[in-house]
Amino acid sequence: MAQNRIATVDLRKVFDGYWKKKQAEAALKDRNADMEKEGRNMLDDYKKVKDDYQSLLSSANDQAVSTEERDKRKSAAEEKLRRMKEMEETITQYQRQASTTIGEQSQRMRSNILKEIRDVVNAKAKAAGYFLVIDSAAESINSTPVFLYSNNENDITDAVLQQLNSTAPADALKTEDKPDAKKDSKK
Protein backbone atom coordinates (compact mmCIF):
# COMPACT_ATOMS: atom_id res chain seq x y z
CA MET A 1 0.00 0.00 0.00
CA ALA A 2 2.79 2.44 0.89
CA GLN A 3 4.49 1.60 -2.42
CA ASN A 4 1.59 3.17 -4.32
CA ARG A 5 2.09 6.43 -2.48
CA ILE A 6 5.60 7.00 -3.82
CA ALA A 7 6.16 8.36 -7.30
CA THR A 8 9.25 8.89 -9.42
CA VAL A 9 10.15 11.62 -11.86
CA ASP A 10 13.17 11.86 -14.14
CA LEU A 11 14.11 15.44 -13.34
CA ARG A 12 16.87 15.51 -15.95
CA LYS A 13 14.43 14.49 -18.71
CA VAL A 14 11.85 17.03 -17.55
CA PHE A 15 14.42 19.83 -17.28
CA ASP A 16 15.97 19.07 -20.68
CA GLY A 17 12.60 18.65 -22.37
CA TYR A 18 10.99 21.80 -20.97
CA TRP A 19 10.58 24.41 -23.68
CA LYS A 20 11.52 27.27 -21.36
CA LYS A 21 14.95 25.71 -20.81
CA LYS A 22 15.64 25.86 -24.53
CA GLN A 23 14.37 29.43 -24.62
CA ALA A 24 16.58 30.38 -21.66
CA GLU A 25 19.62 28.75 -23.26
CA ALA A 26 19.02 30.68 -26.47
CA ALA A 27 18.70 33.95 -24.54
CA LEU A 28 21.92 33.22 -22.62
CA LYS A 29 23.71 32.32 -25.83
CA ASP A 30 22.61 35.59 -27.44
CA ARG A 31 23.64 37.59 -24.38
CA ASN A 32 26.99 35.83 -24.26
CA ALA A 33 27.56 36.49 -27.98
CA ASP A 34 26.80 40.19 -27.47
CA MET A 35 29.23 40.38 -24.58
CA GLU A 36 31.92 38.54 -26.54
CA LYS A 37 31.42 40.92 -29.47
CA GLU A 38 31.81 43.90 -27.15
CA GLY A 39 34.94 42.29 -25.66
CA ARG A 40 36.41 41.72 -29.14
CA ASN A 41 35.71 45.37 -30.01
CA MET A 42 37.54 46.47 -26.88
CA LEU A 43 40.49 44.21 -27.77
CA ASP A 44 40.57 45.58 -31.32
CA ASP A 45 40.68 49.13 -29.95
CA TYR A 46 43.45 48.07 -27.59
CA LYS A 47 45.46 46.59 -30.46
CA LYS A 48 45.13 49.84 -32.42
CA VAL A 49 46.39 51.86 -29.45
CA LYS A 50 49.23 49.37 -28.95
CA ASP A 51 50.24 49.67 -32.61
CA ASP A 52 50.14 53.46 -32.32
CA TYR A 53 52.30 53.22 -29.22
CA GLN A 54 54.86 51.00 -30.98
CA SER A 55 54.95 53.41 -33.90
CA LEU A 56 55.38 56.44 -31.63
CA LEU A 57 58.07 54.67 -29.65
CA SER A 58 60.01 53.89 -32.83
CA SER A 59 59.68 57.42 -34.12
CA ALA A 60 60.73 58.82 -30.72
CA ASN A 61 64.09 57.13 -31.16
CA ASP A 62 64.58 58.41 -34.71
CA GLN A 63 67.89 60.27 -34.73
CA ALA A 64 66.98 62.07 -37.96
CA VAL A 65 64.57 64.40 -36.13
CA SER A 66 65.39 67.15 -33.69
CA THR A 67 65.67 66.52 -29.95
CA GLU A 68 62.61 68.65 -29.34
CA GLU A 69 60.55 66.55 -31.79
CA ARG A 70 61.84 63.31 -30.20
CA ASP A 71 60.77 64.60 -26.77
CA LYS A 72 57.28 65.37 -28.13
CA ARG A 73 57.06 61.89 -29.58
CA LYS A 74 58.30 60.34 -26.33
CA SER A 75 55.64 62.20 -24.36
CA ALA A 76 53.00 61.12 -26.90
CA ALA A 77 54.25 57.52 -26.55
CA GLU A 78 54.03 57.77 -22.75
CA GLU A 79 50.45 59.03 -23.08
CA LYS A 80 49.61 56.08 -25.32
CA LEU A 81 51.21 53.75 -22.77
CA ARG A 82 49.00 55.21 -20.02
CA ARG A 83 46.00 54.79 -22.29
CA MET A 84 46.99 51.16 -22.94
CA LYS A 85 47.21 50.44 -19.21
CA GLU A 86 43.78 51.99 -18.65
CA MET A 87 42.35 49.92 -21.49
CA GLU A 88 43.92 46.73 -20.09
CA GLU A 89 42.26 47.38 -16.73
CA THR A 90 38.94 48.17 -18.41
CA ILE A 91 39.08 44.99 -20.53
CA THR A 92 39.97 42.84 -17.53
CA GLN A 93 37.18 44.36 -15.48
CA TYR A 94 34.71 43.94 -18.36
CA GLN A 95 35.63 40.28 -18.84
CA ARG A 96 35.25 39.60 -15.13
CA GLN A 97 31.91 41.42 -14.98
CA ALA A 98 30.61 39.72 -18.14
CA SER A 99 31.50 36.31 -16.77
CA THR A 100 29.80 37.09 -13.46
CA THR A 101 26.71 38.48 -15.19
CA ILE A 102 26.31 35.42 -17.44
CA GLY A 103 26.84 33.09 -14.47
CA GLU A 104 24.28 34.90 -12.34
CA GLN A 105 21.76 35.07 -15.18
CA SER A 106 22.22 31.37 -15.88
CA GLN A 107 21.73 30.49 -12.22
CA ARG A 108 18.63 32.68 -11.99
CA MET A 109 17.08 31.12 -15.08
CA ARG A 110 17.90 27.61 -13.87
CA SER A 111 16.39 28.33 -10.45
CA ASN A 112 13.22 29.77 -11.98
CA ILE A 113 12.79 26.78 -14.29
CA LEU A 114 13.38 24.32 -11.45
CA LYS A 115 10.82 26.16 -9.32
CA GLU A 116 8.24 25.85 -12.08
CA ILE A 117 9.01 22.14 -12.44
CA ARG A 118 8.76 21.60 -8.68
CA ASP A 119 5.42 23.41 -8.59
CA VAL A 120 4.00 21.09 -11.26
CA VAL A 121 5.48 18.00 -9.58
CA ASN A 122 4.02 19.09 -6.23
CA ALA A 123 0.59 19.68 -7.75
CA LYS A 124 0.60 16.30 -9.54
CA ALA A 125 1.78 14.50 -6.42
CA LYS A 126 -0.87 16.10 -4.22
CA ALA A 127 -3.62 15.41 -6.77
CA ALA A 128 -2.64 11.72 -7.01
CA GLY A 129 -2.14 11.31 -3.27
CA TYR A 130 1.60 10.65 -3.31
CA PHE A 131 3.45 11.52 -0.14
CA LEU A 132 6.90 11.30 -1.74
CA VAL A 133 8.31 11.94 -5.22
CA ILE A 134 11.82 10.71 -5.93
CA ASP A 135 14.10 11.94 -8.71
CA SER A 136 14.90 8.74 -10.63
CA ALA A 137 17.78 10.47 -12.46
CA ALA A 138 19.61 11.33 -9.22
CA GLU A 139 23.24 10.29 -8.96
CA SER A 140 25.48 9.83 -5.96
CA ILE A 141 28.73 11.69 -5.43
CA ASN A 142 30.41 8.76 -7.20
CA SER A 143 28.27 9.37 -10.32
CA THR A 144 26.34 6.18 -9.80
CA PRO A 145 22.55 5.97 -9.76
CA VAL A 146 21.04 6.58 -6.34
CA PHE A 147 18.06 4.36 -7.11
CA LEU A 148 19.01 1.04 -8.63
CA TYR A 149 15.52 -0.16 -9.50
CA SER A 150 12.11 1.28 -10.18
CA ASN A 151 9.31 -0.41 -12.07
CA ASN A 152 8.16 3.06 -13.23
CA GLU A 153 4.59 2.18 -12.25
CA ASN A 154 4.17 5.54 -10.55
CA ASP A 155 6.46 7.56 -12.82
CA ILE A 156 4.99 11.01 -13.46
CA THR A 157 7.77 12.30 -15.74
CA ASP A 158 5.73 12.35 -18.96
CA ALA A 159 2.68 13.89 -17.27
CA VAL A 160 4.81 16.66 -15.73
CA LEU A 161 6.60 17.34 -19.01
CA GLN A 162 3.32 17.38 -20.92
CA GLN A 163 1.79 19.88 -18.50
CA LEU A 164 4.86 22.13 -18.58
CA ASN A 165 5.00 22.09 -22.37
CA SER A 166 1.27 22.65 -22.76
CA THR A 167 1.87 26.41 -22.49
CA ALA A 168 4.64 26.42 -25.11
CA PRO A 169 4.26 28.63 -28.16
CA ALA A 170 3.70 26.56 -31.31
CA ASP A 171 7.11 27.37 -32.74
CA ALA A 172 8.93 26.36 -29.53
CA LEU A 173 7.94 22.72 -29.85
CA LYS A 174 8.37 22.58 -33.64
CA THR A 175 12.10 23.29 -33.36
CA GLU A 176 12.33 20.27 -31.11
CA ASP A 177 10.65 18.01 -33.68
CA LYS A 178 12.70 19.09 -36.71
CA PRO A 179 15.91 17.16 -35.86
CA ASP A 180 13.89 13.96 -35.40
CA ALA A 181 12.18 14.45 -38.75
CA LYS A 182 15.59 14.81 -40.43
CA LYS A 183 16.79 11.61 -38.79
CA ASP A 184 13.73 9.72 -40.01
CA SER A 185 14.08 11.00 -43.59
CA LYS A 186 17.72 9.82 -43.76
CA LYS A 187 16.81 6.23 -42.93
The predicted model gives 89-110 an average pLDDT of 95
Residue 136: what pLDDT? 92
Question: Is the pLDDT reported for residue 176 higher than 80?
Answer: no
Domain count, the chain: 1
Tell which residue, 154, 152, 151, 167, has the closest CA to residue 117.
167
pLDDT at site 103: 95
Residue 2: which residues within 8 A CB-CB, separation 6 or more?
Answer: none
Tens digit of pLDDT for each residue in 123-138? Answer: 999 999 999 999 999 9
Least confident of 42-46, 61-65, 88-92, 159-163: 61-65
DSSP secondary structure, 106-146, as one string: HHHHHHHHHHHHHHHHHHHHHHHT-SEEEETT-B-TTSSBS
Q: In angstroms, rounded to a whole number, what is the distance separating the alpha carbons of residues 178 and 170?
A: 13
Mean pLDDT of 9-30: 94
State residue 187's pLDDT score: 39
pTM above 0.85, yes or no: no
Domain hosting 38: range is 2-186
Average of per-residue pLDDT across 48-62:
86
> Is the pLDDT at 109 greater than 70, yes or no?
yes
Better-scored residue on pLDDT, 60 or 10? 10
